[in-house]
Structure 1
């Protein structure tokens, strides 16, 4: 099994103290619908930054940014849905069920151990899933669109029953379908099952950004997995290197196969980066994806998640104010979307 090739940088069990083991996932994210990366309803523009186009190409361009929280929050929620479904969330010190953005984490579930938590006046766990901003390959000017939004009355027109015209007319920026973002997610001192859990969250999460019940469809693919004793180059460096490698001129929509080939050419040179000890081939990578799919399948998911949850049992500290409680029959606080 190819996941065993990562054994030198995988922890055998969860440990409280870091030991310098890094696993880096190179992720290609592609929008499959209109997408909005900004605070919902704020009227702010789409997130973007002015950066150098490539490593060799020193032109300054504006790139779209998929911020860290816009990546990790939906992926955490996806994993937590299944923890909740399999009754693997715990009650916090105030007796409420573990929930995001409520300042009362349970400090005992898979999500808390992996993605971390900070309880006001209580304990804290640093996240072992390190993320950074993902950047679009193409400039923002190529991949942004604008829509006019109106709100019609129940009679299907812009005028009410008294003939008054609606003033609910606005324009909004959006990211076009088919836009590619490149990203590196770094896992620190994780076990094999924790790796499967995080990869599953990335692969199966399909909605990101604002108004995600209407837009925000996105497809994620893992292009490479590296094991090392240090972090890989940044997501921005990856995007810039791929931009240099692509044949010009570039225009939207970009061919995904062509982009993937160039990205893998860049990644092939990273095998010799300082600190890298393991790099999976395409065949080994495909084997890992199959392994993840098997563990997340309907037949195996319950055993997989319960085994992962059980692995933290020696490290759990039950809050003095309440006993450990599972999610069955409990009402969870509302989780705020980021």
Structure 2
């Protein structure tokens, strides 16, 4: 079994109370198209912070930031797509305008079902008082190179439906104005290093989370046009506490790479440097497990197998069933899932 070495830091079953089991994933995120990470609307600057370049290099530089929400939200939506497709999202009774109705679990509506895989793993805060803390701990991911090196700006022309910048009417005296719809963008080939910490997760929960990370491919604003990224797991650790932060990982990797560094950065050199840094983490306080290259490859294969077309339905239903004893179903309603008849009606429970 590919997860055997992690058994000591995996929870055997889900429980309401924490047990001090940590699994940390070292993730390399690489842009493969223009990408936009900003906090507000069009024209806002890219998210960035002034930080020390390395642990030993005390130069202050501005680094791009992929905020925690920019990471988790697309990955969470990816997993929910398949929960919905396999009829594994639950419904909940709510009152709207004096009428009681059932609504399907949905993000950002203050109406979580509190009973699906997504709610149990990524957490929720319901208006009625129920709450579940996320067991996927994230933090801001930082670019290896400075923001000045990896940000571009492009102006595009406003083209009419006739394919030109004029509508060819007599009153037209000049061409349409050029537009800058998004302002700055992050160039392709930009690398972000990230540490994702999982707390008290079971083997199937680990498979679900890693699948969401590996298979999510669009991030940031205007993701239907830009924002293509690829995620790669460089290391997996088990411990009784958190590992060094994402910023410390980036700074240590920057020191190993040395100067001068410029965009585009060779990804193989970056991976080698990052693995050199995390190889020393096995001696950090609290670390008990580090997967070897072969074991990591077997883990990824295991995840891909469980997420495959042939196994995905069994895998998701098995994971959903693992929370059954923690669900409280209203007795007057018959059991059922999803959008069809006989949906689950859920009593709001604090867990």
> If the TM-score is normalised by the length of the shorter chain, which range does it land in?
over 0.9
Alignment of 1:29 onto 2:29 = yes
SS at match of 2:274: helix
From 108, 118, 121, the counterpart of 1:114: 121
1:213 aligns with 2:233: no
Counterpart-to-counterpart distance in 2, 1:239 and 1:157 = 46
- Give the Å deviation of 1:80: 0.2
| SS of equivalent residue, structure 1 residue 2 | coil
Using the TM superposition, name which of 17-26 and 319-328 deviates more: 319-328
Residue of structure 2 aligned with 1:237, choices 248, 268, 274: 248
For residue 55 of structure 1, what is the aligned residue in structure 2?
A: 55
Are residues 319 and 65 of structure 1, via their aligned partners in 2, closer, same or farther at CA, if it must alter by over 3 Å?
farther
324 and 215 in structure 1: CA distance in 2 versus 1, 3 angstrom threshold: farther
Question: Could you tell me whether the CA contact under 8 Å between 2:121 and 2:135 is conserved in 1?
Answer: yes
Query: Alpha-carbon deviation of 1:300?
Result: 0.6
Q: CA deviation at 1:304?
A: 0.3
Number of matched pairs: 330
Q: Does 1:226 align with 2:237?
A: yes
Q: Give RMSD over aligned pairs.
A: 1.6
Shift of 1:40: 6.2
CA separation of 1:324/1:61 partners in 2, compared to 1, >3 Å: closer, same or farther?
Answer: farther
Query: Who wins on radius of gyration, i.e. which is larger?
Result: 2
Structure 2 residue aligned with 1:143: 150
C-alpha deviations, 1:187-216, integer Å up to 9, x for none?
Answer: 000000000000000000000000000000
Q: Does residue 212 of structure 2 align to residue 201 of structure 1?
A: yes
Q: Structure 1 regions of 5+ residues with no counterpart?
A: 331-338
User: Which secondary structure state, in structure 1, belongs to the residue aligned with residue 223 of structure 2?
Assistant: coil
Aligned to 1:336: none
Inter-partner Cα distance in structure 2 for 1:119 and 1:156: 50
Give 1:251's match in structure 2, choosing from 217, 242, 262: 262
Q: In the alignment, what sits opposite 2:38?
A: 38
Q: What is the DSSP-based 3-state SS (H/G/I as helix, E as strand, rest coil) of the residue aligned with 2:237?
A: strand
Query: Over residues 260-302 of structure 1, what are the superposed CA-to-partner deviations in whole Å (9 max), with x where a residue is unaligned?
Result: 0110000010000010011111111011001101101111100
Question: CA separation in 2, counterparts of 1:36 and 1:179?
Answer: 12
Q: Structure 2 length as normaliser, TM-score?
A: 0.91
Taking the aligned partners of 1:146 and 1:133, their CA distance within structure 2 comes to 24
Q: Please, which of 252, 255, 262 is the counterpart of residue 273 of structure 2?
A: 262
Query: 2: CA distance between counterparts of 1:150 and 1:23?
Result: 49
Moved over 4 A (4+): 319-325
Q: TM-score, normalised by structure 1?
A: 0.94
Q: 1:335 is matched with which residue? A: none
Give structure 2 stretches of 5+ with no counterpart: 95-101, 342-351
Query: In the TM superposition, what is the alpha-carbon distance from 1:168 to its structure 2 partner?
Result: 6.1
CA deviation string 1:39-64 (max 9, x = no partner): 46332101100000000000000000
Which SS does the other structure have where 1:112 is aligned? helix
Note closer, same or farther for the CA distance 1:301–1:39 as it changes in structure 2 (3 Å cut).
Answer: same
Once the 2 structures are TM-superposed, how far is the Cα of residue 169 of structure 1 from its aligned partner? 1.8
Q: 1:305: Cα distance to partner? A: 0.4
Cα deviation, 1:79-138, whole Å, max 9, x if unaligned, reads 000000100000022211001000000000000000000001230000000000000000
Find the partner of 2:176 among 166, 176, 201.
166
Instruction: Sort the Cα spacing of 1:37 and 1:185 in 2 relative to 1 into closer, same or farther, 3 A.
Output: same
SS at match of 1:285: helix
CA distance in 2, matches of 1:97, 1:323: 16
Encode CA deviations 1:295-329: one digit per residue, 9 max, x unaligned. 01111100000000000000012368976542244
